[in-house]
Amino acid sequence: MQLAKKVLVMDDSNASAHGLLAVLYLRKREYDKAIAEGERAMALSPNSAPVFTNYTACLNAVGRAEEAIPLFQKAIRVNPAGPSSLYNAFGDTLRTTGRFEEAVSAYKKAIHLAPDSIPANSGLAATYNYAGRPEEAIPLFEKIIRLNPVVPFGIYSDFGAALRNTGRFDDSVAAYKKAIQLAPDNSFLHVSLAATYIMMGREKEARVEAAEVLRMNPKFSLDSYAKTIPYRDQSQKDRIRNALRKAGLK
């Protein structure tokens, strides 16, 4: 951040430096500053791929994904041949707004351009799962893990959700435990594991996980968490919420 600011002292019209600051502020959760820097970068260099990617990431993070969609559509009209990362980011944005079928198309285009792309394959798999098509998600997750067993914890978490949604509870627990091994301080992984245990009829173990959630995040709110559950089907959201309530979370 200090280096980016030094660049701007010398040349305030450097779009890359403004774009870098946007991402850094985003990671610090200083969202207003992130958006301001992203907008400044876009105004200076609207056709720069890194600038564009950084700004749309900021829009997604602050709940303004709808505003990013026309920007992606314009970028794709200008360069329909890719890169794969452009279509992958577009898929992420479409999924965030609940436009699952369009997200599937974007991810498939990304995979066509880069068949072994882990972000594109995992994005498509997660979208299938959230759209109520977990059977199609599972082979993709298995492919990703074959390509690189040391994948981010989020992939094992999404894999666990897809396995749970097909009734493969023991496999789901194993996937969530792998995710926790990779990210032991992530309380939301314990939330998912607690819900899974309840669905298996293992209430005692679920309550252990719920206690861990509250130890790590004493202000955990089930109402707030429920708003982030991304499934299209309301019954899926209700199923998870009811399971967590039975595990002792409020």
Residue 39, domain member (yes or no): yes
Q: What pLDDT score does 82 carry?
A: 80
Confidence of residue 249 (pLDDT cuts 50, 70, 90): very high
Q: Residue 16 has which token pair? A: 């890359």
Q: How far is CA 96 from CA 161, 192, 198, 230, 231, in A?
A: 17, 19, 27, 8, 11
C-alpha 189, offset from chain centre: 14
Q: What pLDDT score does 49 carry?
A: 79
Q: What pLDDT score does 66 carry?
A: 95
Lowest mean pLDDT among 11-20, 70-79, 116-125: 70-79
Residue 202, domain member (yes or no): no
Residue 14, domain member (yes or no): yes
Q: What pLDDT score does 176 carry?
A: 98
Lowest mean pLDDT among 53-67, 105-119, 187-201: 53-67
Confidence of residue 81 (pLDDT cuts 50, 70, 90): confident
Q: What pLDDT score does 148 carry?
A: 87
Q: Determine the structural domain holding residue 25 and report its residue range.
A: 1-63
Confidence of residue 93 (pLDDT cuts 50, 70, 90): very high
Q: What pLDDT score does 73 carry?
A: 93
Residue 21, domain member (yes or no): yes
In 3D space, the residue among 148, 228, 143 whose CA is nearest the CA of residue 192 turns out to be 228
Question: What do you get for the CA distance between the two ends of the chain, in Å?
Answer: 39
* CATH for 6: 1.25.40.10
Residue 40, domain member (yes or no): yes
In 3D space, the residue among 203, 210, 160, 202 whose CA is nearest the CA of residue 181 turns out to be 160
Average pLDDT of the segment spanning 33-41: 95
**Domains in the chain, number:** 1
Dist. CA 209–CA 49, nearest whole Å: 42
Residue 29, domain member (yes or no): yes
Average pLDDT of the segment spanning 40-44: 95
Q: Residue 14 has which token pair? A: 């450097």
Residue 1, domain member (yes or no): yes
* 211-231 pLDDT tens trace: 999 999 999 999 999 998 999
Average pLDDT of the segment spanning 228-239: 93
What is the dihedral sign for C-alpha 54, 90, 160, 200?
positive
Residue 102, domain member (yes or no): no
